Amino acid sequence: MQEFLKILFASGQKGFELAFFILMPIMVFMMAVMRVLDQTGVLRRVAILAAPLLLMFGIPGLGVFAIVQILFVSFAAPVSTFRIMDQDTAISDRKIAAGFSAILCMSQANATFPLSAFGLNLLVTMATSIVGGLVSALLTYRFFARHLPDGVELPAADEIHPSGNKQNLIQMILIGGEEGFQLVLKAVPELVLAVLLVNVLKSAGAIQLMETLCGPAFALIGVSPASVLPIITKYIAGGTAMMGTTLPMLQDQSMTALDLNRIAGFTINTLDPVGLAVLVSAGRRFGAFAMPAVKGALFGILVRGILHLVIF
């Protein structure tokens, strides 16, 4: 029991340091920037310009804004846009499934920005996210959701998610910074538990066992056996927990930046129990059409994973 308490206290300290000395500066800054871009209409103009192109892949006009939110804010940010899409009868069920699939495949900013401070190639990760998301949406729209009703939707400027009441620059920065701080606070329990999981598994010898069992298979694709734990954590406890597991490994050099970039295509996305539960809560249609969206996202993630292995 005394040994477990030592591990618990050390994990709590490490989780706190990760949250407040690494995550907080990054998320406060990024959320402040995103709030300014949102309120000044920059994000809406980008979404309006990109919407006609993305309609070719089955992604509705509002889905463009959801893509911007997932890439630059957090995994939960698209929920607000999804709620509007769910209630908009002009957006067909088939396009709902395609847009949902794209978001499930893409990397979330609350993981990519902190990990970029430790060697994650941010530009490549975002680029592969877009490619994988388009593949996911197209396959979902053309194959997995082809049985769903479809319709014609022409995006207009006033369809893009509104930015709300205008605020001055200082207010935008303060509100955005506060949102970033709140995101970090919510992530603290997951970070502490993730670090605790790593330390307990290390103490029990489970990590070494997993590396021994999975090492040969991982070596065939050029991935370090140390990457086993982040991958398992991702698909059990979600992206934030995966990040909490990965950061200590990068700090103690049991995992390298190259390892991180090679597995990023498979691990940095929202297709996990936590991400899926949050996103389907956006509305009835997203819950009803989650299965075709997940099928498309799996293929998109496979494409992303292969791209990262080829590039790195």
Question: In whole angstroms, what separates CA 201 from the centre of its chain?
Answer: 25
What is the SS3 assignment for 106? coil
Q: pLDDT tens digits for 256-287?
A: 899 999 999 999 999 988 788 888 888 889 98
Contact indicator for 153, 91 with CB cutoff of 8 Å? yes
First to last CA, the chain: 43
- pLDDT single digits (tens) 135-167: 999 999 999 998 888 765 544 444 444 445 567
Residue 133, pLDDT above cutoff 90: yes
pTM score, whole prediction: 0.78
DSSP state of 140: I
Is there a contact between 17 and 188 (Cβ–Cβ < 8 Å)?
no
Residue with the bigger pLDDT between 139 and 21: it is 139
Above pLDDT 70, what percent of the chain? Answer: 93
Q: CA distances (Å), 310 to each of 136, 217, 305, in order?
A: 19, 17, 9
Query: How does DSSP classify residue 151?
Result: -
DSSP label at residue 60: -
Give every CB contact of residue 284 below 8 A, 6+ residues apart in sequence.
Answer: 86
pLDDT tens, residue by residue, 37-76? 778 877 677 767 877 888 889 998 888 888 988 998 888 7
Question: What is the Cα–Cα distance from 74 to 106, expressed in whole angstroms?
Answer: 11
Calculate the alpha carbon distances from 281 to 122, 234, 277, 278, 287 in Å. 29, 20, 6, 5, 7
- Return the pLDDT at 158: 46
CA distance 244 to 193: 8
